[in-house]
Structure 1
Amino acid sequence: MGKMPIWPNANHEKDVIDILIWNRWLLRVLGIWPLVYPDTTRIEKILAMFSFTLCWTVLSLFLVLTSIFTFTDRSVMSEKMKMLGPLGYVFFSMLKYFFLVIRHKSFRRCIKILTKDWRMVQEGYHREIMLRDAEKGQILSKFCIVFMYCGGLSYNTIMPFLSQMPDNEQNITIRPMAYLGFDILFDLQLMPIYVFAFCLQCFTGVVMFNITTSVCCLAAMFVAHACGQVNIVLTRVENLIKKECSRVKFEQCMAIIVQHHVRALKFSASIENTLREICLIELVGTTLIMCLVEYSLITCSKVGYTSYKIEWYNLPGKAALDLMLMITMSRHPTQITAGRLISLSFTNFGNVLKTSVAYLNLLRTAV
């Protein structure tokens, strides 16, 4: 098989910088950019070490405080259920953060392959194809960043004040916080300490948002690049059929196409090997959190059960019939659905897992 000729792309450095721009800023905040991109300065590595230590410290503090509040007698059942969602989110965010660090060599290898592909672009229209697919990945990355930060920061900064509780029986002002449990360590009645704790929660949220958006941006960038390489292979095949050439030249062109295709397939396999644990964590984490939200919504079904348990037979004649309306309405609780096709609940979550395992066994048997 003939080797693929290399004609360097004069703009490859600028192209790679433009593609990595969002990942560079997001991973710098997390302190792992020098791990995935070797061409960094000493100052960048020192700052990355500081950011890495700070991020893990605030995440660990958040996890410990919320866990103590949730799983001890400091909270009632309603508060425990309310905190399971944030607690699960920070736990799964730390797992994704962990695998971002563990898999840093795989991420670095994928970025090296991506950089080499941009450097060895052979035709001007090949670069245009790669730029077009890279732009799609950039658009997806921007959407993820805007969506996460708008929703997340709104929850951390606006929602606590919209749901502010009145003063309690001791005439003590209950200061709004996005997440409960920080009063274990901080005296929130003192304004400077309250401001510090509130800013600490916001910063912790930013770290968690960066973890999620970093995974999405890396996946979008890698998949967009793989699509660009496949599109170049398709273009080569189309041009090969259109051109009339000798048998020797045809075999050389065909060898180049096959080699390019194999490189694209190997890069796609590297993406799957790099992101598989993180994707599993993302799937399980988001599904469980949505199921918790679903649980919170369907607690109105307890109204019918409570109405049934009371001593309704001691009520006056027609008064007992009024309870039938409440019981009937509670049989159809509000549900969150995926496209109105399936409700998001623990039962359906288990069904999806069983179906996926059965499908995997079928594929293994067929292959």
Structure 2
Amino acid sequence: MPQNEHYQNDILYVMQPIRNLLLALGAWPTIKKERSVYQKAYNLLLICISYTLLFCDFVPSILYWFIEATSRIRLQMIPFLLYDFMSVGQYGIFIFRYNQLKRCLMHVEEDWENVLNVDARNIMLKSARIGKRLITICGIFMYSAVITFRTILPLFQGKIITDQNITIRHFSCPGYFFSLNVQVTPVYETIFIIQFVIGFIPVSIVTSACGLTAIFVEHACGQLKILISLMTTLVQKQWQKEHEVNTMLAEIVNHQMRVRNFLRLVQHTLQEVYILEIAVNTASLCILVYFMLVDWENRNIATVCTYCISITNVTIHTFLFCYTGEQLTSQAEKVAIASCELEWFRLPDKKARSIILLIRMSNAPSKISAGIFIDLSLKTFGNE
């Protein structure tokens, strides 16, 4: 029997935003039950459709980059191509790490089922709200960007009439379409709409990556806050029997180990996602800033505004990942400080020595990183 009678509503509240995105991509793990044959076939169909659309966007751009693009245009296209590459890679990680992702989600659900008390539930809900805000902010910026770059900007650029009196209309994503005349109606309109629809897939993938990180890390932060509460209760309560102290100590140690095992699982599941995020966003920022400065010198105000929007979007997206990692690091430091400030002398003499091991465990750093190279923190964001 779950200790938290509201756990189903709580889990729905926490998971719903990211659940809807991953369900649409066919990458949402079924928790606590096996997928039926119908579900497997349906998810496989969604995955095939998503990858087909992604490559319909990616392959023509790659061909254009190799065959028709000038050196300047090739350099300008690199951020777009890197973004598509990152989306394809992250989507593959979600699919091939299905079982690990399922274990992470099951861990979160079990914690909600076995909430210790009302105060602990309120702590977890507060952390969950922060995670949902981060997902909302990421979604607003990412989906606003795809609408801007896939519709407004190509139309804003207008038409170009060549010396041969040929009208050229812009696409959001330059592509090589072999002998197909893409400038005639309705071919142009069809490709334009297809590119607009496809744009929502990579954005959904990237938002899912940010959302999973926010949910898992903020959940861990909530568990660390509960750990501080447990440690404080240990030394403030007037213990009458020694076995009660042993029970409480065991509960604290088990809670601490459970949080650490969860973070280790999250790190193993999503570390490649973080590597792609940091590497692609850093490279894109360098290129975008360079072209913004070049066009600023040439007084191309419309193009400068385009680059400013791109830079802002990439910067905020990177900041959300680093801010989430900073939240975990900061909360882990609070646990370490709280363990060192415990009034151990309130415990029975023999049990006071157990605090030494608890302090040692609490001072071991808890963080998430991009592989083993870069910690996700505000310091990392500043160094970029």
Coarse TM-score class (shorter-chain normalised): 0.7 to 0.9
- The match for 1:112 is 106
Q: Which runs of 5+ in 2 are unaligned?
A: 299-307, 316-369, 375-384
Percent identity of equivalent pairs: 28
> Secondary structure, in 3 states, of the residue corresponding to 1:114?
helix
CA drift of 1:34 comes to: 4.1
Moved more, 187-196 or 241-250: 187-196
Shift in CA distance, 136/7, structure 1 to aligned 2, threshold 3 Å:
same
Report what 1:97 is aligned to: 91
Quote the residue 1:128 is aligned against.
122
Q: Runs of 5+ in structure 1 lacking a partner?
A: 1-5, 304-333, 340-352, 358-367
What is the deviation of 1:164?
A: 2.1
Give the letter for the 1:209 counterpart: V
> What is the CA RMSD across the aligned residues, in angstroms?
2.7
- The answer on 1:267 being equivalent to 2:223 is no
What letter matches 1:237 in structure 2?
Answer: M
Q: Is the 8 A contact 1:36 1:104 kept in 2?
A: no
Per the alignment, residue 59 of structure 2 pairs with 64
Q: Which amino acid aligns with 2:208?
A: S
- Pair member with larger Rg: 1
**Aligned equivalent of 2:46:** 51
How many residues align? The count is 305
Q: Alpha-carbon deviations, 1:10-59, whole Å to 9, x = none?
A: 11111111111111111122111146785666655444222211110011
TM-score, length-normalised on structure 1? 0.76
Which AA in structure 1 matches 2:105? Answer: I
Distance in 2 separating the partners of 1:167 and 1:92: 35
- Quote the residue 1:362 is aligned against: none
1:141–1:216 Cα contact (<8 Å) kept: yes
Whether 1:233 and 2:258 are equivalent positions in the alignment is no
**Which amino acid is 1:107 matched to?**
L
Amino acid aligned to 1:179? C
C-alpha contact (below 8 Å) 2:26/2:46 kept by paired residues: yes
Q: Kindly indicate whether the alpha-carbon contact (under 8 Å) linking 2:29 and 2:102 is maintained by their aligned counterparts in 1.
A: no
Matching residue within 271, 277, 297 for 2:272: 277
- TM-score norm. by structure 2 comes to 0.73
Matches of 1:113 and 1:125, distance apart in 2: 20
Counterpart CA distance in 2 for 1:252 and 1:292 is: 58
Instruction: Look up the equivalent residue of 2:4 and give its one-letter code.
Output: N
What residue is the counterpart of 1:248 in the other structure?
243
CA contact (8 A) 2:24 2:46 kept: yes
Q: 2:27 aligns with which of 32, 37, 41?
A: 32
User: Which residue number corresponds to residue 172 of structure 1?
Assistant: 166
Amino acid at match of 1:288: A
Q: Which residue of 2 aligns with 1:288?
A: 283
- Name the SS of the counterpart of 1:10 in structure 2: coil
